[in-house]
Amino acid sequence: MADNQPVAAPQIELFVARELGNSSFLIADPDAGEAVAIDPLRDIGQYLDRAGRLQVRLTRSLDTHLHNDFVSGGRELAAEAGAVIEPLADQQEVAVGRWRLRAMLTPGHTPDHLSYLLSDSNGKEVALFSGGALMVGAIARTDLFGPHLAVHLALEAFRTVQVRLRGLPDDVALYPTHGGGSFCGSATSDARMSTLGEERVSNPFLTTTELMPFLARALHQDRYPDYYLDMAAVNRKGAPLLGRHLPALKPLKPHQVETLMRERKAAVVDIRRGRDYDRAHVPGSYSVGLGGPFSAWVGWVIERGRPLVLAGGSPAQLAEAQRQLLRIGYDSVLGYLEGGVDAWQERGLEVRSFETAEVEDLATWVLSAEPMTVLDVRAMEEWVHGHVPGAVHMYVPDVAHHAHEVPREAPVAVHCASGYRAGTAASLLEQAGFRRIIHVIGEWSDWDRLHLASTIPG
C-alpha cells in the first residue's frame, strides 16, 4: 500500500454488560483476518462468535488494568483461541492487521493502568481505549487500593487527563471500559463512546484544570460493592477456566433446596421483580431482581463462596443470572428451584410475603402520623439531598449487620429511589427477624411531585 493512502476503518465491536456498567471491545481487521480483545469478560463465547462471523482470528487479549469488578476473560481466550495475553509495556506497540495499538501508561484508577491508542498505517491516531483513565463525563475512582493510596492516585489521574493525554487530537474516538452504572466511577451518562474533543468541553475532570478542585471531585465517591475487595486477588491468581460454553444450571426440587439451605447454609437468590417477590417468597431468601445491577448487589450482600440457589424467572433469565454471577467470580451456583416459588408452596413449605405500597401510600401514612418506621436505604449522597422527615437512614449493605438499630415496635416501610434496592433491604430485614415489612415501590421523585416537604441535613 502506498504511503498516505487512506486505510479502511477497523471494525470496532462493542459488548456492553449493563449490570456492571462496563463495555469490552473487539478490534478487528477483517481483510487481515486478525482481531484483538480489550477488557473481555469471562463468558468468552460472545467474542468467539463475533470473531467467527467476521472471519478473524483472536490473536491477543489486553486488559487496561487489574479489574476489581469482574473476572478478566483473557485467560479464557488464551485457552480457547490461543490469544496472547502477555501485558504490554508503556509505549509498546502491537499490530492488529494493518493497524497499530500502542500502550500508554495512564495511572489514576489503578497504579499500572494502561490505555491503548489505535493508529492506522500512516500513523493517524483514531481511537483511545481508555479503561477507567477517562470515562464519558468522568474518570474512574482512585480509592480501590485503599485510602492510603487514594490521594496519590487522584494526583496521578490529574496528570493523566491534564498532561499525558493532552497531545492527542480532538477527533480521537474515546472507548472507555467503565461507564454509566459502574460502581468504579460516578458517570451518569449511558453513552458508551465519545471523542476527546467532546470530553474536553463537557467532562468536569477535563475542564477542571486546577489541582485542588480536581482532587476534591475525584475523592468524593460513594461506596463500592464488598466483592470488589477480593476481586483483584482473584484476577491475580486466575479464576478457574470455564471454556467457551457456560455450565448448565441444575434443576433442584423444593426439598433439595430446603436441605441445602439447612445443611450447607445455601442462599436462595430470588431474581424476580420486587412485586412478585412481595406476594410470595421462600423464607430467608434474598430479593435481588435481574432487572437491575443484579450481580453487583449479590456481590454486596452475599459473601463469595457461599453456595447459591437461584429462584424465579424463565429459563433464559435464570441462565442470564448465572452468567452475571460467573462474571464476578461467583461460581458456587448449585442450581435453581425447579418450578419456582409455586412448586415450593405446593410442596407444603412455608412462604412469606410483604405488603407492597406506592410513594403516595407512604405520604398518606406520614401525613396522618400513622405509627411506622420509614427506613431510607439509599446511599448517603442521595439521603443528604432530601429525605422523608423522621426517616431512619441505613444504606442497603448495612442492613444485615445493623438491623438491630431499626425500631421494631411499628411496621417498617422500606424505600429507596425506585423500589429496587428497597426490595433487597426488605429481604435482609426479614432475615433479621422483622415481620411487619412494607416494600415501597415507586420513584423518589414522586415525593416531590406530590409537593411534600423533605428534610435536608445541615
**CATH, residue 338:** 3.40.250.10
Residue 115 belongs to a domain: yes
Residue 367 belongs to a domain: yes
* Residue appearing with cell numbers 402520623: 369
Alpha helices in 280-438 (DSSP H): 294-301, 315-327, 340-346, 359-367, 380-383, 399-402, 420-431
* DSSP characters over 258-322: HHHHHHS-PEEEE-S-HHHHHHSB-TT-EE--TTSSHHHHHHHHS-TT--EEEESS-HHHHHHHH
pLDDT reported for residue 8: 65
Three-state DSSP state, 25: strand
pLDDT reported for residue 9: 75
154/253 same-domain check: no
User: Of all helices (H) and strands (E), which one includes residue 76?
Assistant: helix 74-81
Alpha helices in 163-293 (DSSP H): 196-202, 204-207, 211-219, 228-237, 254-263, 274-279
- With vertex at residue 207, the alpha carbon angle to CA 205 and CA 211, rounded to the nearest 5 degrees, is 65
Residue 196 belongs to a domain: yes
Among 325, 346, 367, where does a domain finish? 346
417/388 same-domain check: yes
Residue 338 belongs to a domain: yes
Rg (C-alpha) for the chain, rounded Å, is 24
**In the chain, how many domains are there?**
3
321/421 same-domain check: no
Residues 6+ apart with CB under 8 A from 27: 10, 11, 12, 13, 35, 36, 38, 96, 99, 101, 118, 129
Residue 455 belongs to a domain: no
Q: Evaluate the CA torsion angle 272, 275, 280, 281 in order and state its sign.
A: positive
Mean pLDDT per 10-residue interval, the chain, length 458 residues? 58 96 98 97 98 97 98 98 97 96 98 98 96 97 94 98 97 97 86 97 97 96 94 96 96 98 98 97 98 97 98 97 98 98 97 95 88 95 91 97 94 96 98 96 82 66
DSSP 389: T
293/227 same-domain check: no
Report residue 257 CA to chain centroid gap: 28
pLDDT reported for residue 188: 76
89/55 same-domain check: yes
Give the domain range for residue 424. 355-449
C-alpha to C-alpha distance for 135 and 112, rounded to whole angstroms: 17
46/152 same-domain check: yes
pLDDT reported for residue 368: 87
Tell me the backbone φ, ψ of residue 375, rounded to 5 degrees: -105, 115
Look up the CATH number of the domain holding residue 66.
3.60.15.10
196/257 same-domain check: no
Among 346, 376, 410, where does a domain finish? 346
* Residue appearing with cell numbers 493508529: 119
Residue 263 belongs to a domain: yes
Tell me the residue type at 39.
D
C-alpha to C-alpha distance for 248 and 295, rounded to whole angstroms: 18
208/117 same-domain check: yes
- From residue 401, how far is each of 79, 229, 383, 394, 425 by CA, in Å? 41, 18, 20, 10, 12
Residue 57 belongs to a domain: yes
Among 346, 373, 391, where does a domain finish? 346
222/316 same-domain check: no
157/219 same-domain check: yes
268/407 same-domain check: no
Residue 5 belongs to a domain: no
pTM equals 0.94
64/165 same-domain check: yes
Tell me the residue type at 439.
H
